[in-house]
Amino acid sequence: MTLADLAGGERAVVREILGGRELRRRLGSLGVHPGDMVEVIGPGLFGGPVLVGVHGAEVAIGRQQATRIEVEPLAPR
């Protein structure tokens, strides 16, 4: 499952980033790394960016990039 598959309010742990060095660098600068817990604040409607909470910050991740972030969903709160 990827980050792009999650609905608003769902939480997950980042398992792997499927991309090259540049994608990993960009996501790392946003605070997204394997092992991090993320929460989808707002799904990207109509192919737009996904708004994600990570480490107390909100970041926008492009839909294409979100499809390259493998996650493991967490149980609902």
Task: Give the pLDDT of residue 23.
Answer: 95
Coil, strand or helix at 3: helix
**Helices and strands per DSSP (H, E), number in the chain:** 2, 5
Phi, psi values for residue 56, rounded to 5°: 80, 5
Q: Tell me how many domains the chain contains.
A: 1
Task: Give the pLDDT of residue 75.
Answer: 80
Which segments in the chain show pLDDT lower than 70?
44-45, 76-77
At residue 4, what is the residue type?
A
Q: Is 15 left (phi over 0), alpha (psi -120 to 50) or beta?
A: alpha
Task: Give the pLDDT of residue 62.
Answer: 93
Q: Whole-angstrom Cα distance, residue 31 to residue 70?
A: 15
- CATH number of the domain within which 32 lies: 2.30.30.90
The parent domain of residue 9 ranges over 3-73
